[in-house]
Copies of this chain bind each other. A is one copy, B any other.
Amino acid sequence: MRIAIDAMGGDKAPKEIVLGAQKAAAELKNVDFLLFGDQTQIKQHLTTEDLSNLEVIHTSEVIESDDEPVRAVRRKKDASMVVAGRAVKEGRADALFSAGNTGALLATGLLVIGRLPAIDRPGLMATMPVLSDKMDAFTMLDVGANADSKPINLQQHAILGSFYAKYGRGIKHPTVALLNNGSEASKGSDLTQKAFALLRDTDEINFIGNVEARDLLMGAADVVVADGFTGNAVLKSIEGTALGIAGLLKDILLNAGTKNKLAALLLKDSLKEIRGQLDYSEHGGAILIGLRQPVFKTHGSAESEAVYNTLKQISSLIQTDLMSDLNKVFGKKKEKLQENNKEETNGR
């Protein structure tokens, strides 16, 4: 098992990427970690020299966060992200990891690694913690690969998400719901109403209907399907709210007199637990699903702990049958999916 790592992508690269990879390599001896990037900079941050399962591969270019994605991937042939992608494409690695420019990573996935032929558009898929006892986590997609989605994209993402819940997360009969502005079947925009009709007739999934954003964190479904624009906004709203409240709490516990400081001391363990439940970095990165090989993304601001957690998540995922199964099922164009697609295109 080998993971190709774009060591130069992200606001805190290469330092935090290198430290996270080093920690993962020290722990996961059965996985090889390939660090792509400027070797001088990378080696500066490596504190252990003798990790036999960590290799540095020098590249001379970097894709910046404000680069125009497709152009950057096409022109910067020696960019760390692109060279790492090529290693995956050519079978020298099983997965690609980057904390860099999301658009460029999507372009690398499409142009370098290639999509599954039966999937029109890959989706960005994130797994987030649930705060009730109903389930541990839920998987949502698309959280931002596509700014404009069609009903057929949502249908394909529902199937992919359900596949992932089964083979990647080990849930036997994952429930799939559609993110909508009301729970009744009749609710929704033009897009969600059409998607609802498609999902209801999709045999491959256990569709349980609409879900509202308010109920996501309480465990409304194992898989939640959304168009990429709304999914992105919902993910960022949840993160922003959790961070905002965490900040308020911190202020109250640490900056507001002796009484509160004493309380903070008493609550130390419990607060750590809450933080664990809210900490999205522990739940790893987002997966760009719908490609021939898996591509993983974490926040641009990810630090070594988040990088390490995502790499652990990747290593367990590539030991499952998920990718080979996905390739078996979606490896060639499917008549049925094509037909739906035609209908849909004519209808719009």
| Residues from chain B with Cβ under 8 Å of A230 in the complex | 229-230, 233
* Cβ-based interface call for A110 (8 A): no
**Pairwise interchain contact A188-B238, C-beta atoms closer than 8 A:** no
* Cβ-based interface call for A170 (8 A): no
**With known contacts A233-B230, A234-B233, A234-B237, A262–B252 Cβ distance under 8 A:** no
**With known contacts A232-B181, A267-B252, A241–B237 Cβ distance under 8 A:** yes
- Kindly report how many copies of this chain are found in the complex they form together: 2
Looking at the complex, which one of B187, B234, B252 makes contact with A270 (CB distance below 8 Å)? Answer: B252
| A101: min CB distance to chain B, Å | 11
**Pairwise interchain contact A189-B229, C-beta atoms closer than 8 A:** yes
| Residues from chain B with Cβ under 8 Å of A245 in the complex | 131, 241-242, 245, 274, 278
| Residues from chain B with Cβ under 8 Å of A259 in the complex | 266-267
What separation, in Å, do the CA atoms of A252 and B259 have in the docked complex?
Answer: 18
What separation, in Å, do the CA atoms of A229 and B148 have in the docked complex?
Answer: 13
Can you name 22 A-B pairs with beta carbons within 8 Å? A131-B245, A147-B181, A147-B188, A147-B190, A179-B233, A181-B233, A213-B232, A213-B234, A214-B239, A217-B241, A230-B230, A230-B233, A234-B234, A238-B240, A241-B245, A242-B245, A248-B277, A249-B249, A253-B267, A262-B266, A263-B263, A263-B266
**Pairwise interchain contact B131-A248, C-beta atoms closer than 8 A:** yes
| Residues from chain B with Cβ under 8 Å of A39 in the complex | none
| A301: min CB distance to chain B, Å | 11
Looking at the complex, which one of B144, B216, B240 makes contact with A240 (CB distance below 8 Å)? Answer: B216
**Pairwise interchain contact B213-A236, C-beta atoms closer than 8 A:** yes
**With known contacts A234-B234, A245-B278, A263-B267, A144–B181 Cβ distance under 8 A:** yes
A198-243: which residues lie under 8 A (CB-CB) from chain B? 212-218, 226, 228-230, 232-234, 236-243
